[in-house]
Amino acid sequence: MKNGYGDIRIADYTYDLPQDRIARYPLPERDSSKLLVWDGSMISDRVFRDFPELVPHDNLLVFNNTRVIRARLVFRKESGAMIEIFCLEPHNPSEFSMNLASGGPVEWKCLIGNLKRWKHGMMESRFLHEGSEFSLTAERTGTEGDSFLVRFAWDATTLSFAQVLEDQGHMPIPPYLGRADEESDSNTYQTTYARINGSVAAPTAGLHFTPGLMRELDRKGIEHAEVTLHVSAGTFRPVKSELIGDHMMHSEHFFVSKATLKRLRGRKITAVGTTTVRTLESLYWLGLSAAEGRWTGPGIPSVTQWEPYQKKTNADPADLIDALLEKMEREGTDILEARTDIIIIPGYRFRIVNNLLTNFHQPHSTLLLLVAAFTGDTWKKIYDHALTAGYRFLSYGDCMLLPGNPDYFTTH
């Protein structure tokens, strides 16, 4: 079923990460981060503000413009017990923008901390909005998979749920930072180009960009485009199984405009972050589904975890983007909405992305496997160099610019 790819041992994709190498806070200046550059044969050490002169000028730079929401809500029961509700994704309404804009009750798929102290019943919390006090209630309504369904209601129909989260919620900084969120995280754990509410984790490769650096990219004539993938909490989930074939990949919701699809066609692509890679590579498989007539009827299409390894094809990426554009034209929509469970591991052949900007990822993670898919065994040399040269790791850490191994790529 997985054509042998599922037999990859996760123990072969790990490294020793000392706790003091995890960046607990960002640097004061975003673009002063270290930038490791691998050119396919050699490694060099640069500073991120050099990025505009390093990105290939014939490439289209693609960003994930998702915005992190204050997804962690804390309630205190009458007994004094603290219950934390981590909002993962909307359930009713299930569409992100509609749910977040709602002024009435909404349901979300959630994780619940201290669950044993909240067997049933409704919890209430008070919050302030522009000097006035309001009430937010939470009630468990069921389960879905390994998450709980929670119904939220508040006593001000003039407030959207997005505003309630902004007033009452906490930033969902990664658990490996080992600290509570602080007010500064509201700014630093958000890219400067974040626009579309929905993520519960930041697309961290984008945290290095500043408005000034974006202007410099424009000055140098480097084109860029945006996609939206709402990053899920699953991005932090380590692989606990011995073989990658026994790991269930998390699902994420993404959106790509017709205008962006047209710009992708036939271009070489530098993806900013692994979430952008997941989005762009998923477009290939959605396009194949459309071209083969397998994507029919209403509903949100999805790319399954092992689909790229089960189907053998040499279809031209430009032709498959055309298939997506034709389908969107027939359906009269300007935005492609889909889900992806795709897992990118060594042996994957990249179809859309040519170069990658990314941070340094956790041991035993699917993101480390994605980097290994991009570079081959060179990932070990890259990580060894970063550890020796004093790079800072994980979400608030430094980054690297990688050209893909040509053996693993489809030529545009």
Tell the burial category of 43 from Cβ atoms under 10 Å away from its Cβ (0-12, 13-18, 19+): middle
**Total Cβ atoms within 10 A of residue 380:** 14
User: Within this chain, do residues 106 and 89 fall inside the same structural domain, yes or no?
Assistant: yes
User: Within this chain, do residues 119 and 205 fall inside the same structural domain, yes or no?
Assistant: no
For residues 253 and 231, the answer to whether their CB atoms sit within 8 Å is: no
| Phi, psi for 202 (deg, rounded to 5) | -80, 145
pLDDT given for residue 133 in this prediction: 92
pLDDT given for residue 411 in this prediction: 40
pTM above 0.85, yes or no: yes
User: Within this chain, do residues 242 and 340 fall inside the same structural domain, yes or no?
Assistant: yes
User: Within this chain, do residues 47 and 101 fall inside the same structural domain, yes or no?
Assistant: no
DSSP codes, 331-357: HT-SEEEEEE-----TT--BSS--EEE
Please name the residues in contact with 209: beta carbons below 8 A apart, sequence gap of 6 or more.
30, 31, 191, 192, 193, 272
pLDDT given for residue 387 in this prediction: 98
User: Within this chain, do residues 216 and 352 fall inside the same structural domain, yes or no?
Assistant: yes
Q: Tell me how far apart the alpha carbons of residues 8 and 237 are, in angstroms, rounded to a whole number.
A: 18
User: Within this chain, do residues 125 and 251 fall inside the same structural domain, yes or no?
Assistant: no
For residues 314 and 235, the answer to whether their CB atoms sit within 8 Å is: no
In a domain? residue 102: yes
* Half-sphere exposure at residue 95, Cβ-oriented, CA atoms within 13 angstroms: 8
User: Within this chain, do residues 126 and 256 fall inside the same structural domain, yes or no?
Assistant: no
Show the tokens assigned to 265: 């066609």
Q: Tell me how far apart the alpha carbons of residues 231 and 200 are, in angstroms, rounded to a whole number.
A: 6
In a domain? residue 176: no
Residue environment code for 304-328, b if the CB has 16+ CB neighbours within 10 A, otherwise e:
ebbbbbeeeeebebeebbbbbbebb
In a domain? residue 181: no
For residues 55 and 222, the answer to whether their CB atoms sit within 8 Å is: yes
User: Within this chain, do residues 292 and 404 fall inside the same structural domain, yes or no?
Assistant: yes
Any idea what the CATH number is for the domain that residue 284 is in? 3.40.1780.10
How many residues can be counted in the chain? 412
What is the tally of structural domains in the chain?
2
DSSP codes, 214-256: HHHHHHTT--EEEEEEE--GGGG----SSBGGGPPPPPEEEEE
User: Within this chain, do residues 124 and 212 fall inside the same structural domain, yes or no?
Assistant: no
User: Within this chain, do residues 166 and 292 fall inside the same structural domain, yes or no?
Assistant: no
Q: Tell me how far apart the alpha carbons of residues 144 and 110 are, in angstroms, rounded to a whole number.
A: 9
User: Within this chain, do residues 27 and 144 fall inside the same structural domain, yes or no?
Assistant: no
> Which residue, 11, 17, 12, is CA-closest to 362?
17
For residues 73 and 151, the answer to whether their CB atoms sit within 8 Å is: no
List per-block mean pLDDT (blocks of 10 residues) for the chain, which spans 412 residues. 75 95 97 96 96 93 98 90 94 94 95 89 91 94 92 93 95 94 97 96 97 97 97 82 91 96 96 98 97 83 94 94 96 95 95 97 95 94 98 98 64 40
For residues 165 and 71, the answer to whether their CB atoms sit within 8 Å is: yes
In a domain? residue 358: yes
In a domain? residue 153: yes
User: Within this chain, do residues 163 and 200 fall inside the same structural domain, yes or no?
Assistant: no
pLDDT given for residue 80 in this prediction: 82
In a domain? residue 390: yes
pLDDT given for residue 3 in this prediction: 60
In a domain? residue 183: no
- Three-state SS for 170? strand
Domain, as residue range, for 201: 5-68+189-408
In a domain? residue 138: yes
Q: Tell me how far apart the alpha carbons of residues 255 and 96 are, in angstroms, rounded to a whole number.
A: 11
